[in-house]
Amino acid sequence: MHSILPLPFFHVWSYLQTQPLMGLTATLCTWELACFIDIKAGHKPITNPTFLSITLLACALLVTGTPYSAYFNGAQYVHFLLGPATVALAIPMYANRHSIKKHFVPIFISLTTGSIVAAVSAMLIARALGAPHDVLVSLGPKSVTTPIAMAVAQNLGGQPPLTAVFVMITGVFGAIICTGVFWLVRVKDWRAQGLAAGTAAHGLATARMILINETAGAYGGVAIGLNGIITSIMLPLLVNIFGF
Amino acid sequence: MVRSIMMLLLCQLAGTVVQEGTGLPIPGPVMGLVLLLGLLIWRGGPSQSLHDTAGGFLKYLGLLFVPAGVGVVTELQVLKANALAIAVAIPVSTILGLVVTGVLMQRLLRGKADA
């Protein structure tokens, strides 16, 4: 495909593929474009900027034949910030500490139950539909935040990159449908909404709740942290019990 | 702002050191979150700068997931081979998780106002 292009263009293109500049610039430009589309569309669930950005960038990589590693060479600088952003969740948690302390028992019961239901139902359904062992254990931790999910999948003999994809699909799906689901089952309490979003669909659904209500965002943050800890401990036991 | 970013990174670093050192299954950034929360409770709340910096990070949380998400291009074959299982398992389990957690939490909190 490149052979028909003029030589200087090909030279510049090959050079850029070895540099972090293009992957990083592409990520930020695509994000801005996705946010612009989201605003123009009036914040429709389907125009979720994360979902749009991933779709656009994945298509761009496939069309141009750019390997993911060349893209990630630049995008890793954005990816790295997930770590400090996870730590930063302590600030909204602190702001809501009295409410969380007071309701610790309901939080713990709802979160643990929801977390187990989400993980076990996903693995049972996938097993019934013929998915092999490594796909099942990669699917188990899909509701927790990416760095935790990848570590848990690795310990269980799954494939961390596959888990990262499942975590993304779960998060995008959760962020798109969460408000509709809460409306359908009449969950109106911001605390319950935030906790459910963070438990079932980690930071992506929480990112959406943060934009809607601060309390919901704080409970989402609590759910991400607690569910990460609970899933790391519970999932190996559940995998044993159900024989996945 | 630099001091606030330093604070976040130090907590993450300390969390990662603890995780690697003890072999606990809890990832470093989560351990860092717990550590920072402990510090805030002990020292009495974040400075204005830390509050603003953390708010900045969280406002763009959606952007930070993009690079990992684009990794979908490396897993297309496995996804294709298990398309039906994945296409049913993820939506159904996510809805179940949302409903169970949300309904249970709302029931348990009924009549209880915030502190």
In chain A, the residue whose alpha carbon lies closest to the alpha carbon of B58 is A85
Q: Is residue A188 part of a domain?
A: yes
Among A80, A89, A74, A96, smallest CA distance to A29 is for: A74
Least confident window among A12-21, A169-178, B73-82? A12-21
- Determine the Cα–Cα distance for residues A242 and A93; give it in Å rounded to an integer: 34
Tell me, what's the pLDDT at A161? 80
Q: Measure CB to CB from residue B97 to each of A85, A106, A118 and give the nearest one.
A: A118
Check if A65 contacts B (Cβ < 8 Å). no
Residues A102 and A203 in one domain: yes
- The answer to whether residues A107 and A221 belong to one domain is yes
Helices (H), chain A: 7-17, 20-40, 49-64, 68-80, 82-88, 90-95, 97-102, 104-128, 133-139, 146-155, 160-184, 190-212, 214-242
Contact B62 A197 (CB under 8 A): no
Rounded to two decimals, what is the model's pTM?
0.82
Mean pLDDT, residues A160-167 taken together = 87
Average pLDDT over residues B94-110: 96
CA B52, distance to chain mean position in Å, is 18
Domain count, chain A: 2
Find the residue in B nearest to A190 (Cα).
B106
* CB contact A122 to B (< 8 Å): yes
Show which of residues 168-187 on chain A sit within 8 Å of chain B, judged by CB atoms. 168-174, 177-178, 181-182, 185, 187
- Single out the residue in A46, A80, A114 at which a domain terminates: A80
Arithmetic mean of pLDDT, B64-74: 88
A33 and A116 fall within a common domain: no
Sign of CA dihedral A129, A133, A138, A144: positive
Amino acid sitting at position B69:
G
Q: How far apart are CA A168 and CA B70, in angstroms?
A: 9
A2 pLDDT above the threshold of 60: no
Instruction: Give the separation between CA B43 and CA B47, rounded to whole angstroms.
Output: 10
* Statement to judge: residues A99 and A51 lie in one domain: no
Residue B95 has a pLDDT of 97
Residue at which a domain ends, from A28, A53, A80: A80
Instruction: Copy the structure tokens of residue A162.
Output: 């596959």
- pLDDT at A124 (0 to 100): 96
Give percent above pLDDT 70 in chain B: 97
Domain identity same for A122 and A233: yes
Domain boundary among A23, A49, A80: A80
Complex ipTM value: 0.88
Mapped onto helix, strand or coil, the DSSP state of residue A43 is: coil
Task: Give the one of A49, A50, A118 whose C-beta lies nearest to B94's C-beta.
Answer: A118
Q: Report pLDDT digits (tens) over A95-135.
A: 888 888 889 999 999 999 999 999 999 999 999 999 999 99
Query: Domain of A57?
Result: 2-80
Q: Flag whether A27 is in a domain.
A: yes
Please tell me the distance from the alpha carbon of residue A205 to that of residue A196, in angstroms, as a whole number. 9
Is A119 in the B-facing interface, judged by CB distances under 8 Å? Answer: yes
Q: Give B27's pLDDT tier (boundaries 50, 70, 90).
A: confident
Nearest-Cα residue of chain B relative to residue A59: B73
Q: Is A88 at the interface with chain B, CB within 8 A?
A: yes
User: Are A59 and A176 found together in one domain?
Assistant: no
**Does residue A160 sit in the same domain as residue A236?**
yes
Do residue A67 and residue A114 come from a single domain? no
Instruction: Tell me how far apart the terminal alpha carbons of chain A are, to the nearest angstrom.
Output: 45
Q: What is the dihedral of CA A70, A73, A77, A79, to 10 degrees?
A: 60
Residues A69 and A139 in one domain: no
DSSP state for residue A4 in the 8-state scheme? G
Looking at the partner chain, which of A68, A178, A217 has a beta carbon nearest the beta carbon of B70? Answer: A68
The neighbour count for residue A51, using CB atoms within 10 Å, is 25
Residue A186 lies in a domain: yes
Task: Let me know if residue A85 belongs to a domain.
Answer: no
Same domain, A122 and A155: yes
| Residues A142 and A217 grouped into a single domain | yes
Mean pLDDT of B85-95: 97
C-alpha atoms less than 13 angstroms from C-alpha of B12 in its C-beta half-sphere: 18
Q: Which A positions 25-64 lie with beta carbon below 8 A of chain B?
A: 27-28, 30-31, 48-50, 53-54, 57-58, 61-62
Query: In percent, how much of chain A has pLDDT > 70?
Result: 98
Grade residue A137 by pLDDT with cuts at 50, 70 and 90.
very high
Task: Please indicate, yes or no, if residue A86 is contained in any of the structural domains.
Answer: no
Under a CB-based contact definition with an 8 Å cutoff, are residues A143 and B94 in contact?
yes
Q: Are residues A142 and A201 in the same domain?
A: yes
At how many degrees (to 10) do helices A190-212 and B48-59 cross? 90
* DSSP assignment of B56-84: HHHHTHHHHTHHHHHGGGGGHHHHHHTHH
Q: Which residue type is seen at B38?
A: G
